Amino acid sequence: MKSKKRDTMNHHLKTLLYRSFDDELSPEEQQQLASALNNFAELRIEKQQIEALRETLTGEPKPQFAPFFAERVMQRIHAERQSAREDDFFMSLIWTFRRVAIAGVIAVALLITTNILYKQDLSLDSILAVPQVTLENALELDELIVRE
């Protein structure tokens, strides 16, 4: 039972000690803390450690951001958003192109099949629906060109 009471008292005294660094204690609390510091060596040691730690921390330079840090961060955010929008645009173009390309391939395949079935021939001319050019046709074209 004494141990629990002592732990509670130690906790209360440590709380007073910590508060004394940042808050103003009431006169009664100040007297209680002074008495405890006189009577308990471990509390004095803890106070010295806290003071040393606080002194070390106050001696350290405070971390600071470089000039225009916020502006640079905002520029990066805007650039990333812009690139995300561009990526979305290009992805939609790719999606559209794939659909058009597939439709185009199907249309070309249908035309080739139709030409092959219509001509009943597997030559390149029939596949591409190129008319057969004979020597007479070539000469007729030559005569037309010369007349003009």
- 129 near 115, Cβ under 8 Å? yes
pLDDT for position 102: 95
Is 97 domain-assigned? yes
| Whether residue 97 sits in one domain with residue 145 | yes
Residues 6+ apart with CB under 8 A from 25: 16, 19, 33
At residue 121 the predicted structure's pLDDT band, cuts being 50, 70 and 90, is confident
Q: Which residues contact 21 (CB under 8 A, 6 or more apart)?
A: 50, 54
Nearest Cα to Cα of residue 50 among 32, 37, 64:
37
d(CA 67, CA 90): 36
Q: Tell me the average pLDDT of the chain.
A: 81
pLDDT tens per residue across span 2-24: 555 555 567 888 888 888 888 88
Cα R_g (the chain), whole angstroms: 46
The pTM (predicted TM-score) of the whole model is 0.38
Asked if the structure places residue 37 within a domain, the reply is: yes
Return the higher-pLDDT residue of 8 and 146: 146
Span 62-112, pLDDT tens digits: 777 778 888 888 898 888 888 888 888 888 889 999 999 999 999 989 988
Domain hosting 52: range is 7-59
Instruction: Judge whether residue 55 has pLDDT over 80.
Output: yes
Cα(89)–Cα(64) distance, rounded to whole angstroms? Answer: 39
**Domain contains 2:** no
Any domain includes 81 = no
Q: How many domains, the chain?
A: 2
